[in-house]
Amino acid sequence: MWRIESPRLIAGLTRMVRDVGVAEDLAQDALVAALEQWSQSGVPRNPGAWLMAIGKRRAIDGFRRAEVGERKYAELGLTQQSQHELDAATVDTALDDDIGDDLLRLVFIACHPILAQNARVALTLRLLGGLTTTEIARAFFAPEATVAQRIVRAKRTLTAARVPFEVPRGADRAARLASVLEVLYLIFNEGYCATAGEDWVRPALCEDALRMSRMVAELMPEEPEVHGLAALLEIQASRIGARTGPSGDPILLKDQDRTRWNHVLIARGLVALERAERLGGVHGPYALQAAIAACHGRARTPEETDWLRIVALYDALLEVLPSPVVALNRAVAVGIGYGPAAGLEAVEELHGSGLLDGYYLLPCIRGDLLLRLGRESEARAEFKRAAHLTENLRERSMLLARASSPTATQRGEA
């Protein structure tokens, strides 16, 4: 319940007090009150309204202590009521039609470009995901004190910069929206293929990112790339249940049991992709990635995958998102669609550029292609190199196993 209600609560309180840090403190006070009282009285019929009422009461107390007086009471519309006289009508007003706008404003605040990327991720998970500092630290393998400092500094930075509690317009809106989508994309990717730790997949992070992407899509229905990102995450999330075996070992795309894919999520993703395309987002970076994911989602078997279309989509993606990682993914598709020699040629070009030095997937994919070309000893060396570069223990074990006894399994995760 807290993860559902806390973004709305913090958003509504931020509108009142104009300080996201103070608003979060008020929301936390309301949560403490709920934990104390609900165990005795039971969960109220409208828990969100109950929490908002408590938060507003705490805000009034704070204004009184700060001797702000009647001006602040008037802003809250509570000049004629004491904190003990909040009736049902007042509670309902706390969750009025502005809540959608408040949430959208909170989204843009949490992902403000003035903050460092790791601070944006932490603050988004805290304010919009409802995660505790402990949970965020565990999610990204960072010390809890470090994450707590990031969140505190982020809130202080927003306050010091006097970032307005509003939805930006024009060019500023486009820049800020890009930051919002990037943060959600990063959170999902960390869950989909964890960079470190013992788990290859971390579904809880994927679920948080997917839920927040749906929320943003509802709040910004006319933005094509919002639907493009939602489509991408829906389709990618459909495969999570098939990406690991019973013991948590990775299962690569070619070897997955496609009956375990969530076809409801695939259908949702395809609908979101169609909406992005109708809104003119066919060439947006997230919509193009969603179109690539859709090629996998529509294929009932690996052999039915339209790899030539995937290569063409990667060509289009490189036009709008020139990135060595995108080029590496394209090389995987080329290696399957046009043969391992063509794929290796594309990988060697990236290898020579030095742009992906230290990135474990470069030797991993190079090893796959070398193996398919019958160059087994070279492939073993590449798998060993990849194993030493990755910090994910599951991935490392899989790569070391391939180095000792390589098989012809193609990663195929493009």
- pLDDT, tens digit, 9 for 90 and up, residues 90-146: 444 444 444 567 888 888 898 898 999 899 999 998 888 888 888 888 777 789 999
- Is the CB of residue 111 less than 8 Å from the CB of residue 124? yes
In a domain, 386, yes or no: no
Length of the chain: 414
Residue 45 in any domain: the answer is yes
Q: Which long-range contacts (CB under 8 A, 24 or more apart) does 156-162 make?
A: 156/21, 157/114, 157/115, 157/119, 158/20, 158/21, 158/109, 158/112, 158/114, 158/115, 159/19, 159/20, 159/21, 161/114
Residue-level pLDDT at 169: 82
Query: Inter-axis angle of helices 117-127 and 2-17, to 10 degrees?
Result: 110
Find where tokens 């013991």 sit. Answer: 247
Q: Is 30 within the bounds of a domain?
A: yes
Please report whether residue 87 resides in a domain: yes
Query: Distance between CA 204 and CA 178 in Å, rounded?
Result: 23
Task: Report helix, strand or coil for 244.
Answer: strand
Q: What would the two tokens of residue 329 be?
A: 């993914």
Q: What is the pLDDT of residue 83?
A: 42
As a whole number of Å, the CA-based R_g of the chain is: 24
Domain-embedded: residue 336: no
Backbone torsions φ then ψ of 199, nearest 5 degrees: -105, 135
**Closest Cα to residue 209, out of 224, 187, 225, 228?**
187
Q: Are strands 391-392 and 196-197 parallel, antiparallel or unpaired?
A: parallel
Contacts of residue 151, defined as CB under 8 A and 6 or more positions apart, other chains included, come to 119, 122, 123, 126, 133, 136
CA angle 208, 213, 214 (to 5 degrees): 100
- How far is 126 from 152, CA to CA, in rounded Å? 11
| Mean pLDDT (the chain, rounded) | 87
Cα 26 from chain centroid? 26
At 411 the pLDDT is 45
Cβ atoms 50, 34 nearer than 8 A: yes
Residue 47: which domain range?
A: 2-97
Report the distance separating Cα 254 and Cα 408, nearest Å: 11
- Looking at the 3D structure of the chain, how many domains does it have? 1
pLDDT of the residue at 407: 58
Domain membership of residue 115 (yes or no) is no
**What per-residue confidence (pLDDT) applies to 141?**
73
Residue 414 lies in a domain: no
* pLDDT for the residue 86: 41
Give the separation between CA 301 and CA 321, rounded to whole angstroms. Answer: 29
pLDDT along the chain (414 residues), means of 10: 84 88 91 92 90 89 67 56 42 44 86 91 88 83 90 93 84 85 91 83 89 91 95 97 90 92 97 96 94 96 96 97 95 96 96 91 95 94 95 91 70 52
pTM of the full predicted structure?
0.78
pLDDT value at residue 129: 82
Question: H-type helices in 66-131, by residue range?
Answer: 70-76, 88-94, 99-110, 117-127
- Residue 385 belongs to some domain of the structure: no
pLDDT at 90: 40
Q: Which 3 state secondary structure label does DSSP give 283?
A: coil
| 348: β partners | none
User: Which of 140, 158, 150 has its CA nearest to residue 197?
Assistant: 140
Give percent helix, percent strand, percent coil of the chain, each to the nearest 5: 70, 0, 30
Cβ atoms of 288 and 322 within 8 Å: the answer is: no
